[in-house]
Homo-oligomer: A and B are copies of this chain.
C-alpha cells in the first residue's frame, strides 16, 4: 500500500483550476469543479473521508466516498497534512445540521471523483494553525510555512490593497510615480548608510538610500510637480523593536504648494484608505498641535490622544514652596510636572517603587504622589512638606476627585517631560485606558524648531533634516538666535506612532548654504556632499515640499497587527539577520578581491 514519495507524485496534466478554495457557496451546488490546494486536515467518518482543502483564499471541505470512486477513496489514504492535491468533483450542499458557519464555504462540500497528488510534505515543524503560539525564530526560519497561516495571508493581501489604493488615489490626483536610484550617494538622515563597494571604480562605494529626499527635490527642480514613490529605504541602525534595516516608504513631493495644501491632501487620502479598506469613516480635519505643546503636555512629539492623562505643569504652584527638593529644582529652571491617575485604589508603595524604577531609564528619580482620599484628606509621602494652600491649588489645577492619585515629578524640564510621557503610555496600557481596539486618533504636530543644540558635539543639528525650510517670519533669526527659528515641518501621528513626516523645503540657494553652515557643514564639505543640490537650486528651483510615510507601520496599524514583522513577507531579526536564507553570510575571498576590499575583523 505504501508508495515512495517519488512514485506518488503526479503531474497536473490537463487539469485546470476552476476556482479557489474560498469561492464556493450554496448557489454553486451541482457544479463540476477542479480545485487545488493543501491538505489542512483529514478525518475518517463512517466510511467517508473528509479533507479540508486550503489555499490562499480559504478552505473547502472535500468528501471522498468509496461509492463515488473507489480509486480516489483508496488514494486518499496516502494523504497527509500539507500534501498538495488536485481534485475533480461536484459541489453539493452539506446535510442539514452539518454546515460550518465559521467559514464562508461552510454550506457546501465537494464530492470528489478524482484525486491527484501534486506533491507530498514532510511533517511540518509547526502547525498551520491560528491558535497556536509559535516561537518567533521558528516562524522566521520557516517563513514560507508561517505565511500559509490565514492571518499572514490576510495581512499581505491588505498590504497589497493599501498600496493599490494609494497608487490609484495619487495617480488620479495627477501624481507620477518616478523611480529613483538605489545605488547612490550618501545623504545623511541621521543614521548610518549601508554602502556597496564598486568593482569598476576601485576604492569607491555607493550608498543605499535612507530616503529619496534629494532625488525628489531634484525632480521638483525638473518640473515634475507631483511625485510619489512607494520605495525601499535603508538605515544601518542599532535595531530596536519595530525598526528594520530595510523598510518601505511612501514618499511624496509637490511643487508650488504649502503646508496646508499637503495636510488637506493627506487627510483626504487617509479618509479614502480607511473607508475603502476598513469601512471606517474618519473625521477631518485632524487635530493639530504645536511641537512645544506636545512636549510639555505629553512628553513626546508623537502623543497618543486616545486617552487623556496629560502632563500638568505645577511649577508655578510651587514658586514659593518651602520644600527644599522642589526649591532646588526651581532654582535651576526645572519643572514640576504631574499626572492624574483616576480612581486608582490599587496604588501601593510597591507600585510607586516600580514606577520609579521605570522612569530611571529616562534619567529621572523621585517620583512621588498625592492621593486625594476625601474632602480635606490626602495621603502622600510629601504631605509634611506641602502647605494646605499648595494642596488645594494642586487639587484645583488637576481637577482631582476623591480617589484620584496625582503623580509628581520634579527635575529638568526635558527629563520631567520624557519620563512622564513614557509613564503615561505605560500606565495607559496597565490601566487599560485605550478602550477601543479600533479607534484611530490622528494628530498633526507642527511648528517644530528648525535646530536643536547638540552639547556633546557643540553644534546645531537639524530637528527634521537639513533641507527643511525655516518659517519666513523667522528667517531673520537665523543669524542671531537660530534656536528660536521654527521650521515648516509637520509630522502625522496616529495612535501615538509617527506614521509620516514632512516639510516645505528650502528652494533658495542662499538659505540652504546658510543652514548648512549653521549645521557645521563648511563650504567645502557642502560642495563635496551636496554640490549638485546647491547647483540645482541656482537654476530655477520652484517652491516645494513633501512628506514621507512609513508604509510598514501604516499597514501594521490598519491590519491591527502587533508588529511590523506581521506585515512584511520576509523580515529580519533585530540583529538584521534573515533566519530563512541565512543572510548576511560570508563571501568568497576572490569576490572581495574583485571589489578591492578585504576583511578587517576585530581581533
> Which residues on the B side are within 8 Å of A12 (C-beta)?
256, 258, 543
Q: List 6 A-B contacts (CB under 8 A).
A: A56-B223, A144-B221, A156-B178, A200-B239, A598-B598, A598-B600
Q: Is A592 an interface residue (CB 8 A)?
A: yes
Q: Please give me the 9 A-B residue pairs with the lowest Cβ-Cβ distance, nearest first.
A: A147-B222, A121-B540, A204-B584, A82-B540, A185-B583, A185-B581, A198-B584, A160-B176, A598-B600
Q: What's the nearest-Cβ distance from chain B to residue A126, in Å? A: 11
Distance of A568 Cα from B192 Cα, bound (Å): 27
Q: Which of A219, A539, A540 has the most CB of B within 10 A?
A: A540
Q: Is A199 an interface residue (CB 8 A)?
A: yes
Q: Is A536 an interface residue (CB 8 A)?
A: yes
Q: What's the nearest-Cβ distance from chain B to residue A229, in Å? A: 10
Distance of A153 Cα from B223 Cα, bound (Å): 8
Asked whether, in the complex, the Cβ of B6 is within 8 Å of the Cβ of A232, the reply is no
Q: Is A236 an interface residue (CB 8 A)?
A: yes
> Which residues on the B side are within 8 Å of A542 (C-beta)?
36, 38, 84, 118-119
Distance of A164 Cα from B159 Cα, bound (Å): 17
Residues of A within 8 A of B (CB): 5-6, 9, 11-12, 16-17, 20, 36-38, 54-56, 82-84, 86, 118-122, 124, 142-145, 147-148, 153, 156-157, 159-160, 163-164, 167-168, 171, 176-186, 192-208, 214-215, 218-219, 221-225, 232, 234, 236, 238-239, 245-246, 248, 255-256, 258, 261, 472, 507-508, 510, 531-532, 536, 538-543, 568-570, 572, 575-578, 580-587, 591-602
Distance of A205 Cα from B598 Cα, bound (Å): 12
Distance of A204 Cα from B596 Cα, bound (Å): 16
Closest to A163 in B: B177
Asked whether, in the complex, the Cβ of B508 is within 8 Å of the Cβ of A56, the reply is no
> Which residues on the B side are within 8 Å of A199 (C-beta)?
192, 236
Asked whether, in the complex, the Cβ of A584 is within 8 Å of the Cβ of B206, the reply is yes
Question: Given known contacts A119-B540, A201-B575, is B181 in contact with A246 (CB within 8 Å)?
Answer: yes
Asked whether, in the complex, the Cβ of B584 is within 8 Å of the Cβ of A238, the reply is no
Counting every copy of the chain, the complex holds 2
> Which residues on the B side are within 8 Å of A234 (C-beta)?
182-183
Asked whether, in the complex, the Cβ of A532 is within 8 Å of the Cβ of B581, the reply is yes
Q: What's the nearest-Cβ distance from chain B to residue A530, in Å? A: 9
> Which residues on the B side are within 8 Å of A147 (C-beta)?
219, 222-224
Distance of A587 Cα from B179 Cα, bound (Å): 25
Question: Given known contacts A54-B223, A184-B581, A540-B84, is B202 in contact with A176 (CB within 8 Å)?
Answer: no
Asked whether, in the complex, the Cβ of A205 is within 8 Å of the Cβ of B586, the reply is yes
Asked whether, in the complex, the Cβ of A204 is within 8 Å of the Cβ of B586, the reply is yes
> Which residues on the B side are within 8 Å of A583 (C-beta)?
181, 183-185, 206-207
Known A-B contacts: A36-B256, A206-B584. Give 7 more (CB < 8 A): A12-B543, A144-B221, A181-B578, A183-B576, A197-B197, A204-B584, A596-B599
Contact of A600 among B36, B163, B168, B596 (CB under 8 A): B596
Distance of A416 Cα from B9 Cα, bound (Å): 44
> Which residues on the B side are within 8 Å of A214 (C-beta)?
581
Asked whether, in the complex, the Cβ of A122 is within 8 Å of the Cβ of B599, the reply is no
Asked whether, in the complex, the Cβ of A157 is within 8 Å of the Cβ of B176, the reply is yes
Distance of A564 Cα from B283 Cα, bound (Å): 45
Closest to A118 in B: B543
